[in-house]
Amino acid sequence: MSSSVNLSSSLSSTSALSSSKFRFKFPFFSQRSSLLTVESRAKPFVACSSTTVHNISGEIRRCSLSRRRGLAFTATLPFLLPLHELVDCVGAKAVESGQSEYLRIKEELSKVLTKGKAAGVLRLVFHDAGTFEMNESLGGMNGSIVYELERPENAGLKKSVKVLEKAKQEIDAICPVSWADMIAVGGAEAVSVCGGPKIPVTLGRLDSGEPDPEGKLPQETLDAAGLKQCFQRKGFSTQELVALSGAHTIGGKGFGSPVAFDNSYFKILLEKPWNSSAGMSTMIGLPSDHAIVEDDECLRWVTKYAGDQNMFFEDFKNAYVKLVNCGARWESM
């Protein structure tokens, strides 16, 4: 009898301890959001949320299966892992999931993005993000360009949207990606495929459901003072203005090879061929390109980038990341 009582008491104590142990771990769920923010930094790499995504034809699609699986996976982990291992595992899963989506986007882009199409895709980035201004709550990298293709300043961009749409349809069949993310990654890949720097792009932007206000893009006819003021309103310094202008090194504006992303743009700016009477040389560049080499502050950076391609690549990469993040609204974890 005594032995039976002791055994019962022992089992009761063990059960209580076990129950207490599992109750201790459940509050971890309430910390999940902050944990993923620490691991993934402010809503990056959201692999597949339940956010509504619109494609160019207006179709609405949702993707919540991965989120549900993720929650189910997280719900079973406390019974399998110590707390510190659970923290590491959930964070790793979030990063792994986002990285998988990022690689999928790059893979599909590689099938449709050629050097000849790179300049148009990169231009798409500037025209989507270029509507942002710091003192307004609208504009920026939000995919609204798909509603703005009839505007005169966006002439020719329908072709670039169609290039990305081919890749986007393949990705959407697995888990929808926003136009904002698609364009941001597409521009980075356009730079890379032409020999420029590799630019990491965070995922998780939300799309706008309407066009941005008109008249927000920098005008091609602005002089240097006007360009600097325009970019300042968007949060960019003169250095970043000059670095981003280097995107004109690819395409048909006459700065070296149209499919080679290098520092030829700055070297040719210093030569000022538009001042020559030698035929087509007057057709090189836009008035805004000519303007920055006439400004002392801009000229300092033009000269530096003409002499140091690595510096240009690094500064362009940083300015590009800033450009595709400006004005973006992000998915919540």
- Which CB contacts under 8 angstroms, 24+ apart, belong to 252-256? 252/119, 253/284, 253/285, 253/286, 253/289, 254/280, 254/283, 254/284, 254/285, 255/284, 255/285
Pick from 218, 223, 232, 226: which is nearest to 294 by CA?
A: 223
Give the whole-angstrom CA distance, residue 249 versus residue 269: 11
Helices (H), 194-247: 224-233, 238-245
Return the H-helix or E-strand segment holding 166.
helix 157-172
Q: What distance separates the 2 farthest-apart alpha carbons in the chain?
A: 113
Predicted pLDDT at 76: 39
CB-based burial label for 21 (10 Å; 0-12, 13-18, 19+): exposed
pTM: predicted TM-score of the whole model, two decimal places:
0.73
The phi, psi pair for 141, rounded to 5°, reads -80, 90
Q: State which H helix or E strand residue 60 sits in.
A: strand 60-61
Q: What is the pLDDT of residue 110?
A: 97
Residues 6 or more apart in contact with residue 194 via CB below 8 angstroms: 115, 118, 250, 259, 260, 261
Contacts of 209 by beta carbon, 8 Å cutoff, 6+ apart: 54
For residue range 195-218, what is the model confidence (pLDDT) as tens digits?
999 999 999 999 999 999 999 999
Looking at residue 137, its pLDDT comes to 79
Whether the CB-CB separation of 185 and 302 falls below 8 Å is answered with no
pLDDT at 136: 85
Give backbone dihedrals phi and psi of 330, rounded to 5 degrees, phi first: -115, 150
Residue 290 falls in the annotated catalytic set? no
pLDDT at 99: 86
The DSSP code for 64 is -
Q: How far is residue 164 from each of residues 61, 114, 117, 120, measured CA to CA in Å?
A: 18, 11, 10, 11
Sole residue written with tokens 């890949």 = 189
- Cα 313 to chain centroid distance, Å, stands at 17
Q: Of the residues 84, 127, 248, 290, which is catalytic?
A: 127
Q: For the chain, which residues score pLDDT lower than 70?
A: 1-97, 278-282, 333
